[in-house]
Amino acid sequence: MSNISKSVSTVEETRTGLCDEFVSITGSDSAVAQCYLAENDWEMERALNSFFEADMEAVFTVEDSPKKDISPPKVKRQKLDKPQSKMDCIDLTTEEPACSSSSAKSTNSSKSVEPNAKASGSEEQDDDKLSLISWNVDGLDTVNLGERARGLCSYLALYTPDVVFLQELIEPYVQYLKKRAVSYTIVEGGEEGYFTGLMLKKSRVKLLNSDIISYPTTQMMRNLLVAQVKFRDQELCVMTSHFESCKGQAEERMKQLRVVLKRMREAPSNVTVLFGGDTNLRDTEVVKVGGLPSGVCDVWEQLGKQEHCRYTWDTKANSNKSVPYVSRCRFDRVYLRPAKEGPGSRMTPDHMALVGLEKLDCGRYTSDHWGIYCSFIPGS
């Protein structure tokens, strides 16, 4: 083969790989990928920005129109005893070995648990607790995204979390949150494409500083967003990330988990560390990295592995993604490393629930993931 032929072959392989990556990120097809990449000189970030801006401009222009009702849709907390219908599930254990697939006889137990209500006699005690929501809001899916973004704001108003971890944000979504969720400080984990974000309740959590930690070998624009904050009289380090997606990216995902666990382990002893995000982890991958280090706990496991909080990615219950199979996985996780000394040390998990289980008026859910709500007792 001549040098020219080799060069052409290399270019074709590179561009085919870029198209595949574009499709995996945007959910589009190869023709759309090739069009946007070619128009942007085959530069991935430029192509993604062009795609998202074109796809989202109409959605949020309409959403912010003065002629349109922009009040948040009403959502309510779900009941524990709400019956769920049975349906058959396809066994995906050969495809996703660490994800739980259901048998035909199983029932959907992915129900939400109502957060502890603030009765008049316990308001002061509840105010001492730290609460958070972690949620992949699926900003890459632009269908009904305006109403879904309003749905997120409704859940924030309902649960009033102190800290919010968000994944799969895009810039128009962030601008929307800045207009609607004015009681929160918003920290962005990127400026282009899609990225993570932190929201901190201004009246209770003070932002000290923040940083973005790169994952050197990511192929999907992933990183770790870190913020040092103060809650009451306690210093916290809060972190969120969206680990590499898809079964074939296990090695990269485990590299990213190691980065997170190293930062949690090495944080100062007087600082409590909270991590939450869409980890895409399978339990076997956590085992392969040596498990969680001493002092770090998986909040779901710490609270007794409650079945109703197990599956955060559940195509059996969530119809936002039209797929010909049922997959139920615990992709979204929250980790805690309590401070060992100082004010508010030995923080402990108090409660966990899934949120976003109710359909909005558009007939879709806020996201294809359920959100996680957690509360913590600061300790002493």
**β-pair type (205-214, 223-231):** antiparallel
- 330 backbone φψ class: left, alpha, beta (φ>0; ψ -120 to 50): beta
What's the N-to-C CA distance of the chain in angstroms?
72
Q: Which residue has the tokens 């995204």?
A: 145
Tokens coding 360: 């909005």
Active site (catalytic) residues? 278
Please state, as a whole number, how many other Cβ atoms lie within 10 Å of the Cβ of residue 8.
Answer: 12
Tokens coding 145: 């995204």
Q: What angle do CA 46, 50, 53 make, to 5 degrees?
A: 135
Q: Which residue has the tokens 């509360």?
A: 375
Say which residues have a Cβ less than 8 Å from residue 330's Cβ, sequence separation at least 6: 99, 100, 281, 283, 300, 310, 311, 312, 313
Tokens coding 61: 């222009």
User: 155: part of which helix (H) or strand (E)?
Assistant: helix 145-159
**β-pair type (223-231, 195-201):** unpaired
Tokens coding 193: 């494409």
228: helix, strand or coil: strand
Tokens coding 243: 């680990």
- Distance, in Å, from the CA atom of 131 to the CA atom of 118, rounded to the nearest integer, reads 13
